[in-house]
């Protein structure tokens, strides 16, 4: 009798912004009692994967230590400054130069290939930035689903001219931070962004790197079908995007893309939160300030944000600030902190915080997850964009009326920040529009809809079900 075993293998880079939505989906599959779940990522995420047990276990598949070229949190300060500079094209170029490292992925591909030979997955679910994941799936002809933690246009728009794109020629290029309705100068800048990206790959440095990349692909046995920016889209059984059409600019998505909204687990996610929910409940108006795991603030920027907090206190507004532990040395002594401020090195669940009714505004870098999580809970935003997709989310949020973006994000001007925060807090339209998008994101179905779609794929049906 033929086995009906249907292993599912999730694959992701270890960065929280990329990994977390797949963790939610894997846990939902476990909650439904789906057997034979596996999750492949870097060694530093072992504990989180092994904790994903609701009804059935999710087995951790180690892919080795974090590779510095592939992980923004490990970059030195000079690299960080290059990839977060305010020139959007130069930042885009710096990200490509620092992440396009053919040699760095060899060990990952080999480790995943070994795991695939042992697990023999019926289906792979691969995060969209994880090239070795979808390349292996295409090469081995394993059905795979692509998970996208960005706006849909981010993976459907070409960065270069003359290449296939699911959006029109005048659509804003990803990472450009340009709006849909462009001035003449912006339309020129948009086209130049594409041509400059193409020219970048014609430089000697990147031509040599591309040649090495092809040699490594050949040595690894990667199929030529896996080459190209759109191969991950065209070969996927389904593309799961954690957004809704209304949050992006208008265009026609491919039929196999499903927009399922924000990936949120059942809440409360962390009931034992050290009294944080009680603190929020005791305050009528709270600004939640959190800029993700990659942002590195300077001492001057930290002190500017402390001054903003003091001034917010004059109007009875409190601030909850998630500031990474390695930046706490920039704070003054605890006795010198504003009375209306609570600083945490880590919050047990950002989602629990955003869900609290007393949190009235999310001050964020507008990464893909944070942008959608804030709106999922109906919170308007003030945005200090960090890099790459953050500028794209920021301009869409502004155009949709759910957020304002700092005029000078690189310096954190106190008056600028205070102006944006107070406007979003005081003008009801921001909250009303954020609540509209909250309804749309909830209606899209989130993790439950995503799990339904996975289980409906032919790869997940046994032979008896397929014959019915």
Taking residue 81's Cβ as centre, other Cβ atoms within 10 Å add up to: 13
b/e code 354-380 from CB counts within 10 Å (16+ = b): bbbebbbbbbbbbbbbbbbbbbbbbbb
CA angle 151, 18, 353 (to 5 degrees): 85
Cα-Cα-Cα-Cα dihedral of 28, 31, 32, 33, to 10°?
A: 130
Taking residue 257's Cβ as centre, other Cβ atoms within 10 Å add up to: 19
Q: What is the mean pLDDT of each run of 10 residues along the chain (468 residues)?
A: 76 94 97 96 96 90 90 89 94 92 93 98 97 97 97 97 94 97 98 96 94 96 94 98 98 97 96 94 97 93 97 97 96 92 95 98 96 98 94 98 94 96 98 98 98 96 47
Q: What whole-number distance in Å separates Cα of residue 369 and Cα of residue 350?
A: 11
Q: Where are the alpha helices (DSSP H) in 32-105?
A: 46-50, 77-83, 88-99
The contacts of residue 246 (CB under 8 Å, 6+ apart) are 400, 437, 440
Structure tokens at 67: 């590779």
3-state helix, strand, coil in the chain (%, to 5): 50, 10, 40
Judged by DSSP in three states, 239 sits in strand
Q: Where are the alpha helices (DSSP H) in 173-298?
A: 184-200, 204-220, 231-234, 276-281
* Residue-range domains of the chain with CATH: 8-261+445-467 (3.40.50.2000), 276-443 (3.40.50.2000)
Q: Are 320 and 349 in contact (CB under 8 A)?
A: no
Residues linked to residue 309 through DSSP beta bridges, in sequence order: none
- The pLDDT score that the predictor gives to residue 462 is 63
**pTM recorded for the entire structure:** 0.95
Structure tokens at 135: 């390349």
């Amino acid at each position: 009798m033929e086995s009906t075993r249907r292993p599912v293998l999730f694959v992701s880079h270890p960065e929280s912004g990329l990994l977390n939505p797949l963790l939610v989906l894997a846990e939902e599959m476990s909650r439904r009692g789906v057997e034979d779940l596996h999750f492949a990522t870097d060694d530093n995420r072992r504990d989180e994967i092994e904790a994903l047990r609701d009804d059935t276990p999710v087995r951790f598949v180690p892919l080795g230590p974090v590779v510095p070229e592939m992980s923004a949190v490990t970059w030195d300060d000079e690299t960080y400054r290059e990839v977060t500079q305010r020139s959007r094209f130069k930042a885009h170029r710096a990200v490509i130069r620092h992440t396009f490292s053919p040699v760095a992925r060899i060990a990952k591909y080999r480790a995943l290939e070994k795991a695939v030979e042992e697990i023999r997955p019926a289906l792979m679910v691969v995060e969209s930035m994880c090239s070795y994941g979808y390349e292996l799936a295409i090469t081995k002809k394993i059905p795979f689903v692509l998970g996208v933690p960005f706006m849909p246009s981010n993976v459907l728009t070409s960065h270069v001219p003359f290449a296939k794109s699911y959006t029109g020629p005048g659509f804003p290029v990803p990472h450009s931070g340009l709006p849909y309705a462009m001035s003449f100068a912006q339309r020129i800048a948009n086209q130049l962004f594409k041509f400059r990206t193409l020219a970048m790959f014609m430089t000697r440095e990147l031509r040599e790197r591309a040649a090495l990349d092809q040699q490594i692909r050949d040595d690894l046995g990667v199929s030529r079908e896996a080459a190209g920016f759109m191969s991950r889209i065209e070969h996927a059984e389904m593309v799961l995007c954690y957004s809704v059409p209304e949050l992006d600019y208008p265009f026609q998505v491919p039929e196999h893309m499903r927009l399922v909204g924000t990936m949120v687990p059942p809440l409360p996610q962390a009931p034992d939160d050290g009294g944080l929910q009680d603190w929020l409940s005791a305050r009528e108006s709270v600004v939640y300030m959190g800029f993700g795991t990659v942002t590195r603030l300077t001492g001057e920027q930290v002190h500017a944000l402390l001054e903003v907090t003091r001034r917010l206190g004059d109007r009875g507004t409190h601030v909850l600030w998630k500031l990474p532990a390695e930046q706490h040395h920039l704070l003054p002594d605890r006795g010198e902190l504003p009375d209306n401020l609570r600083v945490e090195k880590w919050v047990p669940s950002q989602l629990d915080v955003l869900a609290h009714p007393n949190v009235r505004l999310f001050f964020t870098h507008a990464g893909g997850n944070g942008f959608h999580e804030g709106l999922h809970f109906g919170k308007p935003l003030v945005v200090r964009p960090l890099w790459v997709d953050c500028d794209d989310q920021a301009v869409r949020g502004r155009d949709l009326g759910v957020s304002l973006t700092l005029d000078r994000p690189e310096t954190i001007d106190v008056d600028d920040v205070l102006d944006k925060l107070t406007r979003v807090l005081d003008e009801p339209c921001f909250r009303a529009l954020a609540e509209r998008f909250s309804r749309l994101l909830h209606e899209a179905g989130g993790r439950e809809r995503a799990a339904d779609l996975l289980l409906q794929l032919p790869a997940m049906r046994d032979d008896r079900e397929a014959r019915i």
